């Protein structure tokens, strides 16, 4: 097939169908309505994103606070155990020193 002939066929002038203008104008009107509806999509999506971000940050903050409280409780328990063990060692050292001094 000749390239020039293919181009002539592809570029030949054709008359549009009789209802072409009506169909185009109907699609233009439908597109305008869709654009009017679509104008609300972006602000709603942004608002939803902000709400989700705020809720997400609130949840993260609550989780961190709960972790902080748990860590503080664990530290208090560890300090109590350490204090108790140090008291026992101190008592043992005092008894040993007393027995060595013959008191």
38-63 pLDDT, tens digit each: 677 788 899 999 999 999 999 999 99
**DSSP 8-state class, residue 15:** P
Q: Which domain holds residue 67?
A: 19-101
Residue 3 lies in a domain: no
Token pair belonging to 91: 């008592």
Residue 7 lies in a domain: no
Give buried/exposed letters for 20-38 (b at 16+ CB in 10 A, else e): eeeeeeeeeeeeeeeeeee
Q: Which of 25, 8, 7 is nearest to 16 (CA)?
A: 25
* Rounded-to-integer distance, Cα 3 and Cα 29, Å: 40
Instruction: Identify the pLDDT of residue 34.
Output: 63
Instruction: Identify the pLDDT of residue 36.
Output: 64
Q: How many domains does the chain have?
A: 1
Instruction: Identify the pLDDT of residue 32.
Output: 63
pLDDT greater than 90 at residue 64: yes
Residue 54 lies in a domain: yes
Residue 10 lies in a domain: no
Residue 12 lies in a domain: no
Token pair belonging to 60: 């993260």
Residue 2 lies in a domain: no
Instruction: Identify the pLDDT of residue 46.
Output: 92
Residue 61 lies in a domain: yes
Higher pLDDT, 1 or 46: 46
């Amino acid at each position: 097939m000749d390239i020039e002939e293919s181009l002539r066929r592809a570029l030949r002038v054709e008359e549009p169908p009789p209802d072409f203008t009506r169909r185009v104008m109907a699609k233009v009107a439908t597109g305008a309505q869709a654009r009017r509806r679509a104008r609300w999509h972006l602000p709603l999506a942004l608002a939803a994103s902000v709400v989700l971000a705020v809720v997400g940050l609130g949840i993260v903050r609550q989780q961190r606070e709960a972790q902080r409280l748990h860590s503080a409780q664990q530290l208090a328990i560890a300090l109590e155990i350490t204090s108790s063990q140090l008291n026992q060692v101190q008592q043992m050292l005092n008894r040993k020193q007393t027995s060595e001094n013959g008191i």
